[in-house]
Structure 1
Amino acid sequence: MSRTIDNAQAIVSPANTLPIASVPPPVSDPPVEHLDDILVNARIYHRRWGGWPMRGWLDVFAAAGLVRYDDDADQWIRTSGHTAAIAGGARTGTSGERPSYG
């Protein structure tokens, strides 16, 4: 039996009885469900290379009130904003002022 991947169906075993894998659930854009990991990785990158990676995502998170840039600490900090602030997967940058990035 040949296996094919269909975005709407699971891949099934040769006996057509057990699912082997299924299509992963959609991920938001930006991936707000991974916000904490993104902040950790961004800090590691900044410490090593001196710049902030994933600026587009960080700016969208900031516009949604989920993070803020702290000039004194020179880092992005998670705020108490709720993840619903990016309902529908926002794809735009900030509409306000951008922080300075040392």
Structure 2
Amino acid sequence: MSSTDDPQARLEAFFTGQLVPAAQSLRARGVEFFPLGPDAGAPTYWHRRDDAGDYLDSVDPAATAVRLRELWAEHPELVALVDPLLEMAAALARPADEQSPDVSPFIYAMY
């Protein structure tokens, strides 16, 4: 089994090879996506939802890629992650061709 077939290795490679450098670049440019602490001047953090709250949806990879590129247009570091992120998600979503000899952690094995 190559490291590209191992989901854990693939995730670690994506994290260290692409996500960490993107985060470092964004941090160096002073980009912040959300406050890192509470706003003492905010009277409340509660907001009424403007939608029906139906978040169950099927994911279309092409539409997701377009939407992520739109959302992240101001951040080239993130735009560069769109294709590798979706490729990794597709690869990890595929059922494994081989069965693992290990017992699933979700199975209680009695000996």
TM-score band by shorter chain is under 0.3
Q: Whose strand proportion is higher, 1 or 2?
A: 1
Larger RCO: Structure 1 or Structure 2 (Cα < 8 Å, ≥ 6 residues apart)? Answer: 2
TM-score, structure 2 normalization: 0.21
Q: Whose helix proportion is higher, 1 or 2?
A: 2
TM-score, structure 1 normalization: 0.22
